[in-house]
Amino acid sequence: MFKTVGIIAKAKVKNIDKIVKELIEYLNKNSVRVVLGCEAAKSLGLKGMDREGLAAHVDMIIVLGGDGTFISAARSVNESKKDIPILGVNLGRMGFLTEVPLSEMYDALDKVFVKNEFFIEERMMLDVEIYNNSDFISRKTVFNDAVLSKGALARIVPINVKVSFGGKEMDVATYHADGLIVSTPSGSTAYNLAAGGPIVYPTMDCIILTPICPHTLSNRPIVLPDNARLTVRVDEDIEDVMATLDGQIGYRVTTKHRIVISKSTRKIKLITQRNKNYFDVLRTKLNWEERKVRSVKC
């Protein structure tokens, strides 16, 4: 099914050269052509392709790293406009997206390349447009979240949010908080979770709005339908307010800016294992313990 596979690796991982070399040998043994990203190639003293260029030349991508590496790879796939799946192998800490541990990598690969026993999940993304007054500045697509927050100094930021569902625009709230997270279901287990937001099943299509440390305790997270179109503004001139996209791209914003967020028309495809489900991942990553009932003799 997959004739050409790209390998994207996190830089500065212990023994990454050995991991990449053995992975190439495995793929070649299964008649798969390999294209290396820059970091993976560098570990072997070779020259590789940048991530967007790599995405344009392969049928599938294997990510060796953590969720940050996976998100960067997903953004490259989106920018390449190709509809290719990604398999994430966790070399980091949490790894909600890179769900396959290194110890199980070859079992997972056998299910893809030998046994044809795998699923492909589609995950929604968000388009984020930034304007300065009426002037368009940028349009990016995020896999996890868009975050509006203050810089180094601890100061409450008033953030106004409006929503429309294809018709008249309505006020949601003006949040007085340390910031605001607008998240996808996939991103619900990232910053959103740390800020007290809900865990949302990752294949759902919805938009999660979570204030960060709100001054008004009744300001709670809200889950909106996927046809919601949000307009977010800062209500006061405060220095060092940043709009951060997927934790990797940042824009400084003022009261002159407006951020428009909506569901993207494109989705990212993840390769998942048939013998695992999302609740297995949650129990493992969040250390959830199953309650054990002990019988007591009377």
Residues annotated as catalytic (active site), given as ranges: 67
Q: What are phi and psi of 137, to 5 degrees?
A: -110, -55
Report the alpha-carbon distance of residue 126 to residue 78 in Å, rounded. 11
Please classify residue 47 by burial: count the beta carbons closer than 10 Å to its beta carbon, then call 0-12 exposed, 13-18 middle and 19+ buried: exposed
* Geometric angle at alpha carbon 274, from 272 and 278, rounded to 5°: 60
Host H or E run for residue 212: strand 206-212
Say which amino acid occupies 97: L
CA atoms in the 13 A half-sphere facing the CB of 58: 27
Q: What distance in Å separates the CA atoms of residue 45 and residue 47, rounded to the nearest whole number?
A: 7
> Are 24 and 7 in contact, with CB atoms under 8 Å apart?
yes
End-to-end CA distance of the chain: 61
Query: Whole-angstrom Cα distance, residue 36 to residue 129?
Result: 32
CA atoms within 13 A on the CB side of 194: 9
- What's the full length of the chain, in residues? 298
How far apart CA 116 and CA 119 sit, in angstroms, is 9
Residue with tokens 């759902």: 204
Amino acid type, 36: L
- Max distance between CA atoms of the chain, in angstroms, equals 76
